[in-house]
């Protein structure tokens, strides 16, 4: 995204490590990773988040620009694959797309 800086839009620097968020209590934290927009299409990135210790994944996405196309269903299918591949729950929050909870074990059993 560095090219955006050339247009005066901002300064972007890629991160050097995976950062997780904590929920739960101090005695028993629950660590989770957040993926923004379409980051969940990159299996390697999702795997690194999981390997960093994320117990579940959260996808926050703005799918309004998909309009009346099939992309929201395709993006959901990709999220299902990421949950199954990484054997962890995935929570999707999409403003105009498909939101929900993906259980990787149930997703594996779908016909």
Query: What is the third-level CATH fold of 19-109?
Result: 3.50.80
**Cα gap 41→24, rounded to integer Å:** 28
**Cα gap 28→68, rounded to integer Å:** 43
Can you give the pTM of this predicted structure? 0.81
| Per-residue pLDDT reduced to its tens digit, 16-50 | 899 999 998 889 999 999 999 889 999 999 999 99
**Cα gap 82→87, rounded to integer Å:** 8
Burial class of residue 38 in the structure, from the number of CB atoms within 10 Å of its CB (0-12 exposed, 13-18 middle, 19+ buried):
middle
- The whole-angstrom distance between residue 23's C-alpha and the CA centroid of its chain comes to 17
């Amino acid at each position: 995204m560095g090219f955006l800086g050339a247009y005066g839009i901002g300064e972007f620097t890629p991160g050097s490590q995976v950062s997780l968020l904590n929920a739960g209590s101090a005695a028993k934290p629950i660590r989770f990773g957040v993926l923004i927009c379409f980051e969940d299409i990159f299996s390697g990135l999702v795997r690194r988040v999981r390997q960093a210790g994320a117990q579940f994944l959260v996808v926050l996405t703005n799918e309004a620009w998909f309009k009346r196309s099939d992309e929201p269903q395709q993006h959901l299918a990709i999220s299902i694959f990421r949950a199954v591949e990484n054997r962890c729950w995935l929570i999707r929050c999409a403003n105009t797309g498909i939101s929900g909870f993906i259980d990787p074990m149930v997703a594996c059993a779908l016909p």
